[in-house]
Amino acid sequence: MPLRKIFVAGCCLMLAGMSGCGDNKTSSDADAPATFGTLHDGRNAMLYTLGNKNGLEAAITNFGGIVISLRVPDRKGALEDVVLGYDSLRQYEADRSYFGAIVGRYGNRIGNAKFTLDGSEYTLAANDGGNHLHGGLKGFNKVLWTADEKRSVPGRSLTLTYSSPDGEEGYPGALSVTLMYTLNDENELVIEYEAVTDKPTVVNLTHHSYFNLAGAGTRDVLDHELMIAADRFTPVDEGLIPTGELQSVEGTPMDFRAPTRIGDRIDYEDGQIHRGRGYDHNWVLNRDSDLLQVVASLFEPTTGRVMEVLTTEPGLQFYSGNFLDGTTRGKSGREYRFRTGLCLETQHFPDSPNKPDFPSAVLRPGERYHTVTAYRFTAR
């Protein structure tokens, strides 16, 4: 597995091949944010466009830190938007699918919407049956983040901040979160997450784009070939809460160690596939360090587009869009039917606050939460 060291320096993250702070594109009127829309409470959300020298383009709003569109080339160089989403801010306000969003304070599920930390029990918003999902009723995907102009490079990187008050959605501690998106010349959309707290709490931030490398809204994702560098996954109960076991993928439909067409085993007679209505599981990534590392790759044969996922995180949720049913109309009125987008969410394991044997998601005062994930685009 290729490793790359991460240097966090003042204003920007230096990944190999990424331009430094000084030599970025210079700002121009084209890089200035546009108004994306007005929220129900009257505040405006802005739209920021990032681009690189190869013509890739990402449009991101400070509402929910949502990636609205991501245009990447196919094997002939043709750019296409590869993420599902909507045309208007109002649709994102109403969205229940987390299209393109930043998810927090805790991405994925917490069983019975409760956890105990340092002897105190905390009750969270239950928004998925009796469980807590993706930060609750109003997670980080539904808040207006503040753009930090000093720490953003117009047209190249966007830094957003959000202060989550003590007790928000039931979580202890006031949490200050910083999120930086960068589109670099290596064709990577890099997401860097940071957080500090004033009381012990739990944090697990992730990104929830639904990818379709054939182009958003065109077809299902079953012909995509996926590789996940993981020997084990975390099996789940009926409520999609991990049982606590780390199960080998050997001989199961969860084995993506070699690139495999997603549709090949998605409807297998298998208890885990049945519970997830397809793939909706966390893989235990094979890691040899906590540095940024390629952990997954996705290939779409008709266009040749390839997306690699790099992360510092221990887990990856592969969700095959099983709850999409065609009732959601996305960009240009396109129907988003069953399995027309897939998520690759880098994360700590679901329900870690209740699973002492899983890598800890606890953040304490004086500590700094810091994770990095990148989606890298090529074609072959």
Residue 300 makes contact with ligand BGC by CB under 6 A: no
Residue 83 makes contact with ligand BGC by CB under 6 A: no
> In the complex with ligand BGC, which residue's Cβ is closer, 115 or 319?
319
233, 319, 349, 358: which one binds ligand BGC (CB under 6 A): 319
194, 308, 345, 351: which one binds ligand BGC (CB under 6 A): 345
Tokens of 321: 């869009």
Q: How many CB atoms lie under 10 A from the CB of residue 209?
A: 24
What is the C-alpha separation between 345 and 339, in angstroms, rounded?
16
98, 171, 193, 369: which one binds ligand BGC (CB under 6 A): 98
Interface pattern 218-257 for ligand BGC (x via CB under 6 A): ----------------------x-----------------
What is the C-alpha separation between 22 and 241, in angstroms, rounded?
46
Residue 338 makes contact with ligand BGC by CB under 6 A: no
Which segment (69-77, 117-125, 146-154, 315-323) binds ligand BGC by CB under 6 A? 315-323
Runs of H (alpha helix) within the chain? 89-94, 271-276
Query: What residues pair up with 165 in beta bridges, in sequence order?
Result: none
Residue pair 281/236 in contact by the 8 Å Cβ criterion: yes
Task: Look up 208 and say whether it is catalytic.
Answer: yes
Residue pair 230/283 in contact by the 8 Å Cβ criterion: yes
Q: Alpha-carbon Rg of the chain, whole angstroms? A: 19
Which burial class, exposed, middle or buried, applies to 307 when counting CB atoms under 10 A from its CB (0-12, 13-18, 19+)? Answer: buried
**Cβ-defined contacts of 247-250 (< 8 Å, 24+):** 249/283
Which segment (135-143, 194-202, 229-237, 316-324) binds ligand BGC by CB under 6 A? 316-324
Residue 317 makes contact with ligand BGC by CB under 6 A: yes
> In the complex with ligand BGC, which residue's Cβ is closer, 194 or 280?
280
Query: What residues pair up with 146 in beta bridges, in sequence order?
Result: 161
> In the complex with ligand BGC, which residue's Cβ is closer, 156 or 339?
339
Q: Dihedrals φ, ψ of 90, to 5°?
A: -60, -40
Establish how many alpha carbons lie within 13 A of residue 200's alpha carbon, considering only the half-sphere containing its beta carbon.
12
CB of 64 to ligand BGC, least distance (A): 13
CB of 276 to ligand BGC, least distance (A): 8
Residue 346 makes contact with ligand BGC by CB under 6 A: no
323, 338, 362, 370: which one binds ligand BGC (CB under 6 A): 323
> In the complex with ligand BGC, which residue's Cβ is closer, 170 or 242?
242
Interface pattern 251-290 for ligand BGC (x via CB under 6 A): -----------------------------x----------
Residue pair 162/177 in contact by the 8 Å Cβ criterion: yes
Residue 97 makes contact with ligand BGC by CB under 6 A: yes
**How far is CA 270 from each of CA 241, 242, 253, 304, rounded to the nearest angstrom?**
17, 16, 8, 31
Tokens of 170: 């039931």
47, 343, 344, 374: which one binds ligand BGC (CB under 6 A): 343
CB of 153 to ligand BGC, least distance (A): 30
Minimal CB distance residue for ligand BGC: 319
Residue pair 172/362 in contact by the 8 Å Cβ criterion: no
CB of 280 to ligand BGC, least distance (A): 5
Got the DSSP string for 212-259?
-TT-TTSS-STT-EEEE--SEEE-B-TTS-B-S--EE-TTSTT--SS-
Phi-psi region of 94 (alpha: psi -120 to 50; beta: other; left: phi over 0): alpha
Which segment (44-52, 196-204, 290-298, 317-325) binds ligand BGC by CB under 6 A? 317-325
From the list 132, 134, 207, 208, the catalytic residue is 208
CB of 318 to ligand BGC, least distance (A): 9
> What value, to the nearest 5°, has the Cα angle with vertex 51 and ends 45 and 52?
160
Annotated catalytic sites, by residue? Answer: 208, 345
Binding site for ligand BGC (CB under 6 A): 97-98, 240, 280, 317, 319, 323, 343, 345
